[in-house]
């Protein structure tokens, strides 16, 4: 069982000027198409932010929240950003990419459009 640190212990630690102490928690967010590692950070001031990266796929995309007043707001901002942006990125990654044996839009099965040909 993990040891719980009382909140006042973290916020009362004095650090040298120019240094910072962060609390970090890790989560895994799962969608139908990917899994994401979310790291949630708390600053000693009480501010929160979150950063998420996909655990699968060839592209590394970093999703980040703004600095906010609560852990829930930081996590929600990252989940909302993944929900909003990941389908767009999946569409871009696949745009125009057809295998030779696939039917391309605007062609009959077995025909392949030559993008460089004059129309």
- Residue 49, in any domain of the structure: yes
Q: Does pTM surpass 0.75? A: no
Please, which residues have CB within 8 angstroms of residue 82's CB and are 6 or more apart in sequence?
A: 29, 31, 36, 52, 63
- Residue 33, in any domain of the structure: yes
Does residue 63 carry a pLDDT above 70?
A: yes
Q: What is the pLDDT of residue 2?
A: 65
Does residue 118 carry a pLDDT above 70?
A: no
Name the H helices within 1-119. 7-12, 71-94
- Residue 1, in any domain of the structure: no
Provide mean pLDDT across the span 53-67: 93
- Residue 6, in any domain of the structure: no
Does residue 71 carry a pLDDT above 50?
A: yes
- Residue 100, in any domain of the structure: no
Alpha-carbon distance of 103 to 106, in angstroms, equals 9
For all residues of the chain together, what is the average pLDDT? 79
Provide mean pLDDT across the span 66-88: 93
- Residue 26, in any domain of the structure: yes
Question: What residue numbers bound the domain in which 36 lies?
Answer: 19-94
DSSP-derived pairing of the beta strands 63-64 and 22-30? unpaired
Q: Which two tokens stand for residue 34?
A: 């990917």
111 or 29, which is more confident:
29
Alpha-carbon distance of 74 to 68, in angstroms, equals 6
Least confident of 8-12, 58-62, 86-90: 86-90
- Residue 30, in any domain of the structure: yes
- Residue 3, in any domain of the structure: no
Domains contained in the chain, number? 1
């Amino acid at each position: 069982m993990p040891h719980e640190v009382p909140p006042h212990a973290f916020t009362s630690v004095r650090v040298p000027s120019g240094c910072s102490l962060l609390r970090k928690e890790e989560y895994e967010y799962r969608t139908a198409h990917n899994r994401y590692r979310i790291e949630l950070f708390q600053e000693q001031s009480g501010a929160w932010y979150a950063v998420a990266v996909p655990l699968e796929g060839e592209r590394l995309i970093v999703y980040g929240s703004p600095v906010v007043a609560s852990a829930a707001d930081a996590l929600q901002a990252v989940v909302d950003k993944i929900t909003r942006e990941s389908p767009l990125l999946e569409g871009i990654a696949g745009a125009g990419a057809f295998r030779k044996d696939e039917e391309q839009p605007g062609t009959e099965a077995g025909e392949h459009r030559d993008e460089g040909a004059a129309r």
